Chains A and B, each alone.
Chain A
Amino acid sequence: MMRFLIFQGFMLLFVSFVYAQPSHVKTTSFTNKQLALNYLNEVHELKKSASWPHIKPDLYLRNLRRNIEDPDFLFAGRNTNFCSYAALGYVLLKEDPLGYVQFMVDLYQNGKASYRNTDFTPSKGIKETAGQLIYEGELDRNEADQVLFFTLADHFKGYLNILNRNYSPGDEQKIWASTNLSKFNRMLRAMFKMEIHSKGGDLVRPKVKNLSAFLNEKLSKGNVFLYLNNTVLHRKFHHKTKKRIPTHYVVLLGITEANNAATITFWDAGYKTRKTINMHTLRWILYGISWSENKDKH
């Protein structure tokens, strides 16, 4: 144990030297980002929307601008089940910032909007609640993020949501907002132009022989999302017994392996994080891998 901890310290130091630019998420071209900012400049200000009674238009626009300028800070809140929507939103901001702001402005002004081929008509309950979340850290004042997460959670449903399909206040922390892997993949397919592939499941871990090589290969072609049991990456208690179920989505940005330890860099709802864990642990916590491949390349 001690040896491993010392080793992982060295690994992390080494990797941080040789790996200064970790992001494998395809960076948006300057033009695309600039187009999104230009669009926001043209919009300039929004009139208060009757559809979203608690959303302040100035905060909404400020939040959109901040997201375009720095998607890393998109934050899912401290206690919500919004991690899957945040992971999707993070990549959406990188891939299609202009489409994102157009969709969000439309959604605010009209109370409904379309993105690619999907029509979103948020329910009355979430429209009443958006803008009123409290005690969730920065999400409290990121009103556009609240609208996005609520809208996605309201629209996409999986088997985990069967027992709670209609929103009631506080449901953002409950199964109403939870996301199983096939629902997550459905969301990715609806929101992205790219082909989406996946391995693993809600109860079955993916069978991959050389995990780090596999993930690196997928990273070289597009975006990679991991569906994890988060009791190791973001520990909240010190019990020895840990639930054997996946609980969290992150966006993988990089992975290197040496001496049976992996140093992973990932975006996790508000932060890019780098941590070294042993390969056995990574395999143990990993339940699902979803990745995108750009259709244009084929």
Chain B
Amino acid sequence: MTKIFSYITLLFWLSGVSCSPPRSFPVNYYKENEEKIHALNYHYQTLYLQKPFAAEFNDKRFEIVSFELKTDSLRYIFEFPVDDPHIKDTLKKFGYNPTALLQLVNDMKEIRCTWINTLDYYVDDNKRLLTFLSIRHKALDIPFSPKKYFILTIYEQKQYYDAQGRLLDKRNLRRLRKVNNEIFWRINDKVCYTLSAKFR
């Protein structure tokens, strides 16, 4: 009886271990890729300010890219194989810099970033922007684990955190600030992370 109980306990323990990503993954990943992440963010924000857009890799192999091109009247969604020569024509037609956007796509691929976008949030009725980056990493590709995406939010201003390192709302420092309905944890003053089942 004791043996059976031990086996069951072991099984539960193993399933718990195999279904969770390593706890150190977010911070280690960030440290290893810090320069590339911030270069990507800077590059994206520079291009976004010229003309808003979001970019997504649609597949595991990072071979098909999708752009959401935001014009004044419409949001166009295009999907292309990364090496498709027609991407440039399309981006050019909508007034984007094709070379710069394709470089950004390469930078995304390098750090396995599957989605990059800008989100608005409000502090004292003032609109602020953050960069929302989703990373699809092999370390998170664990069977039965729903949280497949490592998400980083990058802010222009310093953020507030509680003693556990959870992101707080500036308006009410007792309240957790959620982004896309997720609680975020501190990496540094301006960067937080979460693990999520959704990439956006």
Contacts and interface: CB of A to CB of B under 8 A. Distances in A.
Interface of A: 2, 5-6, 8-10, 12-13, 16, 22, 59, 72, 78-79, 134-135, 137-138, 140-141, 173, 235-238, 265, 271-275
A173 B169 CA distance: 20
Given A5-B84, A9-B90, A237-B148, A138 B120 contact: yes
A265 B76 CA distance: 9
Given A140-B122, A238-B148, 15 more contacts: A12-B78, A13-B93, A59-B125, A79-B180, A134-B169, A135-B121, A138-B122, A173-B181, A237-B148, A238-B59, A271-B70, A272-B73, A273-B74, A274-B74, A274-B76
Nearest to B120: A137
B81 A6 contact: yes
A10 B78 CA distance: 10
B22 to A, nearest CB: 21
A238 B58 contact: yes
A272 B76 CA distance: 9
B181 to A, nearest CB: 4
Interface string B148-172: 1100000000000000000001000
B77 interface: yes
A5 B120 contact: no
B199 A236 contact: yes
A12 B87 CA distance: 12
Interface string B104-145: 000000000010000111100100000000001000000000
B79 interface: yes
Contacts of B200: 236
Contacts of B87: 9
Interface of B: 56, 58-60, 64, 70, 73-81, 84, 86-87, 89-90, 93, 114, 119-122, 125, 136, 148-149, 169, 177-181, 197-200
Contact of A274 (B75, B121, B180): B75
A5 B64 contact: yes
A141 B122 contact: yes
Q: Across chains A and B, which 4 residue pairs bring their CB atoms closest together, nearest first? A: A236-B198, A275-B77, A79-B181, A271-B75
A46 B149 CA distance: 46
B86 A10 contact: yes
Contacts, number: 85
B121 A137 contact: yes
B178 A135 contact: yes
Contacts of B81: 2, 5-6
Contact of B84 (A6, A237, A272, A273): A6
Given A237-B199, A273-B75, A5 B80 contact: yes
A135 B80 contact: no
A272 B136 contact: no
Contact of A135 (B149, B181, B199): B181
Contacts of A22: 74
Contacts of B178: 135
Contacts of B76: 12, 16, 273-275
B6 to A, nearest CB: 35
Contacts of A13: 89-90, 93
A5 B177 contact: no
Given A9-B86, A137-B120, A272 B179 contact: no
23 contacts: A2-B81, A5-B64, A5-B81, A6-B80, A6-B86, A8-B78, A9-B78, A9-B79, A12-B90, A13-B90, A59-B125, A78-B181, A79-B180, A79-B181, A137-B120, A140-B121, A141-B122, A237-B199, A238-B58, A238-B59, A271-B74, A273-B74, A274-B76
Nearest to A8: B79
Contacts of A275: 76-77
Contact of A237 (B74, B89, B181, B197): B197
Contacts of A6: 80-81, 84, 86
Contacts of A271: 70, 74-75
Nearest to A16: B76
Contacts of B114: 238
B74 A272 contact: yes
